[in-house]
């Protein structure tokens, strides 16, 4: 079974440009999550989709970030316009059942997209 | 508030035990976790412990939870070169069970 995949693995853009990150969850997983790790600090929650609906977007930093999950399959995270402080690693995760990690509730993480804004 | 703290680096001799420590601030934790990230890979759930437990052992891994002090530790026995990675301490709360709160990660390096 394929795991969570993310594209691209790396992206280098200039300040002010737009970047779109993509996440393909594990097939059949209704729950999809975005996290990011900035400057080697803690990994922070961004948002949680249940199918195509945003269940919790409390971690989205500002309105330059737009997450979508049309059709409830893959998700995109667009940063427009990108700023220097957006540099970091963006992780996507998926799970069958929302809630506690453990057993079938485990959130499975992708390898991340490393974003560098110059 | 929601805060998970851990030291940034740990260096251990091969064959020794590694102990990675973590403290958290919110007493309403449900589960506490240890994730491992190897270079170029995603986060892998290593082990987790329910908040009403004190200890969990799984092969070379031992997790200790001190709820009074809000302290979590991960002990890796007989540390091997393949254990080199970043280890993240994390928790989920009753108030938001699907949102994982992570620490900054401890980079474990193994010396011969």
Q: Which of B39, B42, B83 lies closest to B60 in space, CA to CA?
A: B83
Of A4, A56, A102, the CB nearest to B99: A56
Question: Which two tokens mark B57?
Answer: 């052992």
Spell out a b/e string for B18-27, using b for 16 or more CB atoms within 10 Å of the CB, else e. Answer: bebbbbbeee
- Give the closest-approach CA distance of B56 to chain A in angstroms: 14
8-state DSSP, B82:
G
pLDDT (0 to 100) of residue B61:
96
- Give the closest-approach CA distance of B17 to chain A in angstroms: 25
pLDDT band, residue B40 (cuts 50/70/90): confident
Which residue(s) pair with B5 in the sheet? B23
Angle at A90 between CA A87 and CA A93, to 5 degrees: 170
- Give the closest-approach CA distance of B41 to chain A in angstroms: 5
pLDDT band, residue A98 (cuts 50/70/90): low
Of A4, A42, A109, the CB nearest to B4: A42
* Chain A touched by B23 (CB under 8 Å): no
pLDDT (0 to 100) of residue B93:
84
Q: With pLDDT > 70 as the criterion, what percentage of chain B qualifies?
A: 98
pLDDT band, residue A22 (cuts 50/70/90): very high
Is residue A86 predicted with pLDDT exceeding 90? yes
Between A8-17, A79-88, B50-59, the lowest mean confidence (pLDDT) is in: B50-59
pLDDT (0 to 100) of residue A1:
63
Residue of A nearest to B105 (CA): A42
Is residue B28 predicted with pLDDT exceeding 90? no
Rounded alpha-carbon distances, angstroms, from residue A37 to B30, B59, B103? 23, 30, 10
pLDDT (0 to 100) of residue B105:
95
pLDDT (0 to 100) of residue A51:
93
Residue of B nearest to A42 (CA): B104
DSSP state string for chain A: ----EEE-SEEEE-TT--EEEEEE--TT--EEEEEEE-TT--EEEEEEEETTEEEE-TT--STTEEEE-GGGS-EEEEESS--GGG-EEEEEEEESSSS--SGGGPPEE---EEEEE-
pLDDT band, residue A101 (cuts 50/70/90): low
Instruction: Choose from A34, A39, A102, A103 for mutation: most chain B CBs within 10 A.
Output: A102
B59 or A2: which leads in pLDDT: B59
pLDDT band, residue A85 (cuts 50/70/90): very high
| Alpha-helix runs per DSSP H in B1-112 | none
What is chain A's mean pLDDT, rounded?
Answer: 91
> pLDDT digit string (tens) for B63-105?
999 999 999 999 999 999 999 999 999 998 877 778 899 999 9
Q: Which of B85, B82, B100, B112 lies closest to B31 in space, CA to CA?
A: B100
Q: What's the average model confidence in pLDDT over A97-107?
A: 62
């Amino acid at each position: 079974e394929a795991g969570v995949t993310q594209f691209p693995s790396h992206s280098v853009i200039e300040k002010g440009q737009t970047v779109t990150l993509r996440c393909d969850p594990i097939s059949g997983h209704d729950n999809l999550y975005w996290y990011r790790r900035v400057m080697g600090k803690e990994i922070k929650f961004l948002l949680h989709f249940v199918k195509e609906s945003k269940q919790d977007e409390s971690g989205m930093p500002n309105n330059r970030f737009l997450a979508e999950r049309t059709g409830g399959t893959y998700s995109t995270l667009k940063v427009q316009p990108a700023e220097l402080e957006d540099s970091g690693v963006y992780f996507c995760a998926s799970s069958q059942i929302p809630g506690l990690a453990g057993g079938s509730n485990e959130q499975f993480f992708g390898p991340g997209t490393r974003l560098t804004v110059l | 508030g929601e805060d998970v703290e851990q030291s940034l680096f740990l260096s251990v001799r091969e064959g020794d035990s590694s102990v990675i420590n973590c403290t958290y601030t919110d007493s309403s934790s449900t589960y506490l976790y240890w994730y491992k990230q190897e270079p170029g890979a995603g986060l892998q759930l290593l082990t987790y412990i329910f908040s009403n437990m004190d200890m969990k052992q799984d092969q070379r891994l031992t997790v200790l939870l001190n709820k009074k002090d809000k302290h979590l530790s991960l002990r890796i026995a007989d540390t091997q070169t393949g254990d080199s990675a970043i280890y993240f301490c994390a928790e989920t709360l009753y108030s938001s069970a699907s949102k994982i709160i992570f620490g900054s990660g401890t980079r474990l390096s193994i010396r011969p």
